[in-house]
Chain A
Amino acid sequence: MINEDAVYYSRILTELTLSFHIIYATIGVGIPLFIMIAQWIGIRKNDEHYILLARRWTRGYAITVAVGVVTGTAIGLLLSLLWPKFMEVAGHIIALPLFMETFAFFFEAIFLGIYLYTWDRFANQFKHLLLLIPVAIGSSVSAVFITTVNAFMNSPRGFDLVNGELMNANPIVAMFNPSMPTKVSHVVATAFMTSAFILASIAAYRILRGSKHVYHRKALHLTLTTGLIFSVSSLIIGDLSGKYLAQYQPEKLAAAEWHFETQKEAPLLLLGFLSDDGDVRFSIKIPYALSILAHGSPTAEVTGLDRIPKDERPPLYIHYLFNIMVGIGTLLIIVPLLYWIGIKRKWTWIKNKTFMWLLVLGGPLSMIAIEAGWWLNEVGRQPWVLYGVMRTAEGATTSEQVDLMLWMFSALYMMLGIGSVIVLTRMFNKNPIERELKERYT
């Protein structure tokens, strides 16, 4: 029995929760690495600016983690409440990484609590830095485990389907499924990348607002150079993800690229839009590029949507999501690269207003890319919740009250979202770096 209303509202509530949670989750995974780098440089160079950088980032981070705990608990419970039949199946095969994720988060939460409240308790700063290592490991490993579950939804392995029953479960095979390596590394690399650009945009914003303090220059330099490393690695892993899709989920790739007919020497379509009668308009065609992306060879054959049964094709609008993700990703390689070359060659224009604004935009843009990427991933898997095994509608609850829950949760997220923006801006506006430095030395 399927309750269409319940399916519809369950999808919206899940989309809303994940779209909101991913903001805090991404920051939560990425930022500890940067706090660690800053504190490390601060200790090594005996530079108070870097120590304060770490300290101020930590203060903001504590707030985003607290909100992330709430949204994470919400999505964890909502999975069972909204998708009980899916979770019953998933529980049998993929519960292991889900279970281990809670351990990883537990580990992170304990040490974050300790780290937060022990800034001045150690004579040796280095000991304090050591407390951050479990936080960084815990948050990254959490991301690895959770993404493993998502990878399983895209390429379920580790069981046999006998007359519709799942048999011979093998949790380890289920974890190391084909989509796991690319997906996990892409999620982790982009979390670092996004966090770098968000921290960079804060520094750029302060410079634009007239702060001449070298503190912000140091922050900008640190985040942009590491950001460049992660955006390049995200690109490389993204390319590998394309090759994974071509082999295991060809319809997702075909829908994302508007590749309608199976062919060799397939071109890649960039931008464009779909007219009402299904023609692609105003797109840029790059010859052979799709064959290269999919199989690493310009002549390779790429499966088109014509080979996919009509009721198993994902919605075509994921092409736009793909373009947004790739477009922003490319921009965020070019911009820090220009900055880096500019510093080496002493170009002055990288310090002008326009370029600074571009850097300010980098943070929000990278978050939009994260959202687009996850939407591409989730919508691109439709109509399946568990690829090839269970359709989304079959996994949903039959409860009558999902719409009510949707309103309540929307209000909660609104409160959390607005609250975190207000509290974070107030916290740092009230206590700018100039003031904090002054207070520390008087």
Chain B
Amino acid sequence: MDLEIIGILVLWTFLFGYTMIASIDFGAGFFNAYSEFTGKEHILSSIIQRYLSPVWEVTNVFLVFFFVGIVGFFPRTAFYYGTTLLVPVGIAIILLGIRGAYYAFATYGKTKQKRYTFLYGASGLLLPASLSIVFTISEGGFVSINHGEPRLDYWALFTSPLTWGIVILSITALLYISAVFLTWYADQAKDKRASQLLRTYALTWAFPTIIAAVGIIYILRSHNPIHYENLLQLWWMFAISFIFFLGTVWLLIRKINYGLAFTLLVAQFAFAFYGYGFAHYPYLLYPHLTIYDSFTNKAMAISLISAFIAGLALLIPSLYLLLKLFLFNKDYVHGQASRHY
């Protein structure tokens, strides 16, 4: 296998990991704020806080991993995306800052205020919107090269249906992912009321997610025909993804086996995410940048891959320990173990 492909697979996997756990995180923040405003916080807050507190820093590292890794494996992306993404990613950093501040001040510092919770919840919806701009730009048509410098055409970007389609998908998907996960988590904690409420949220957002995804594929047909053709060739990946989706919904409706429902959901998004990624190959930015012309030198690629393998050997056991202590520890999830520090 080409080093280029190994590199992009590693990064794509991290990005997938980030979209899943960040979706859970962002969505949980939103549901948390939403429940405060609808007077249901007594049902949801404790379960959400309990899950979120120990893992948020880890969520953030996935993102850092991705952008440090992409500059390492594909240094040219720094030039193209770095120059054009200043504003959208700048805004995303500020929003991440607001979330970090919430953890630092409200959770660790124990200063609860409604407006923090609100800001925190709102940032969870705005973040996917600003981060998903990167996917939109990568489809091409928004970046032109002017005197050798890439320029982002904001007018074209904000008037394109593709932009808004992707924004809508990112928000519906994150609410759906988050609700399914939290349904399961609340069920594990034997918190029936929270679990039932979250289950209705999950069912609410299930079909909007699929409609948004289909809509984007339709828009791509005219926006980026090459990508569209490639997507059609991988139709079977999306078909499998859809079957998993039906499985999740069926389990949710029947109120059985939420653990399996969440597993199927991860599989659904994995097939869709990798299908989309394979169809995007070899472009990082249509039509300017491919994984081949932006790739780093061989020595760097090999040392990065070696570092990656060594790093995983260290991280996987540690992550396992974290999950075992907090996510799958019955006492902790049930709220019997101490949360004081």
The interface of chain A, by Cβ under 8 A from chain B, is 1, 55, 58-59, 62-63, 65-67, 69-70, 72-74, 76-78, 80-85, 87-93, 95-96, 98-103, 105-107, 109-114, 116-121, 134, 169-172, 397-399, 401-402, 404-405, 408-409, 412, 415-416, 419-420, 423-424, 426-427
Judge whether B104 is part of the interface by a CB distance below 8 angstroms.
Answer: yes
When the two chains form their complex, are residues A402 and B108 in contact, meaning their CB atoms are under 8 A apart? no
When the two chains form their complex, are residues A98 and B55 in contact, meaning their CB atoms are under 8 A apart? no
Output the nearest chain A residue to B337 by Cβ-Cβ distance: A121
When the two chains form their complex, are residues A426 and B111 in contact, meaning their CB atoms are under 8 A apart? yes
List 29 contacting pairs A-B, 8 Å CB cutoff, sorted by A: A58-B341, A59-B341, A62-B104, A66-B108, A67-B101, A70-B104, A72-B64, A77-B89, A80-B67, A84-B83, A89-B75, A92-B297, A92-B300, A99-B72, A100-B307, A101-B68, A103-B315, A106-B61, A107-B318, A111-B318, A113-B326, A117-B326, A119-B338, A119-B340, A121-B338, A172-B303, A408-B90, A412-B97, A424-B109
Judge whether B39 is part of the interface by a CB distance below 8 angstroms.
Answer: no
Cβ proximity bits B286-322 to A, threshold 8 Å, 1 near / 0 not: 0000000000110110011001100100110011011
Using known A-B contacts A81-B89, A113-B58, determine if residue A415 contacts B149 with beta carbons closer than 8 Å.
Answer: no
Residues on the A chain within 8 Å of B58, using CB: 106, 109-110, 113
Give the contacts of B90-106 with A (CB-CB under 8 A): 90-91, 93-94, 96-98, 100-101, 103-105
Residues on the A chain within 8 Å of B341, using CB: 55, 58-59, 62, 116-117, 119
Output the nearest chain A residue to B76 by Cβ-Cβ distance: A88
Contact of B79 among A70, A84, A103, A424 (CB under 8 A): A84
Residues on the B chain within 8 Å of A62, using CB: 104, 108, 341
When the two chains form their complex, are residues B85 and A117 in contact, meaning their CB atoms are under 8 A apart? no
Contact of B72 among A98, A103, A105, A113 (CB under 8 A): A98
Q: Chain B interface secondary structure, helix, strand, loop or mixed?
A: helix
Give the 6 A-B CB pairs with smallest separation, nearest first: A91-B75, A84-B82, A95-B72, A66-B104, A423-B109, A70-B100
Q: Given the complex of chains A and B, what is the CA–CA distance between A88 and B339 in angstroms?
A: 44
Contact of B60 among A69, A85, A89 (CB under 8 A): A69
When the two chains form their complex, are residues A120 and B307 in contact, meaning their CB atoms are under 8 A apart? no
Q: Given the complex of chains A and B, what is the CA–CA distance between A119 and B93 in angstroms?
A: 32
Using known A-B contacts A119-B340, A134-B318, A405-B86, determine if residue A92 contacts B104 with beta carbons closer than 8 Å.
Answer: no
Judge whether B57 is part of the interface by a CB distance below 8 angstroms.
Answer: yes
Q: Given the complex of chains A and B, what is the CA–CA distance between A66 and B104 in angstroms?
A: 5
When the two chains form their complex, are residues B325 and A114 in contact, meaning their CB atoms are under 8 A apart? yes
Residues on the B chain within 8 Å of A65, using CB: 57
Cβ proximity bits B34-60 to A, threshold 8 Å, 1 near / 0 not: 000000000000000000011101101
Q: Chain A interface secondary structure, helix, strand, loop or mixed?
A: helix
When the two chains form their complex, are residues A117 and B300 in contact, meaning their CB atoms are under 8 A apart? no
Minimum CB–CB distance from A387 to chain B (whole Å) comes to: 19
When the two chains form their complex, are residues A169 and B94 in contact, meaning their CB atoms are under 8 A apart? no
Residues on the B chain within 8 Å of A405, using CB: 86-87, 90
Residues on the B chain within 8 Å of A399, using CB: 83-84, 86-87
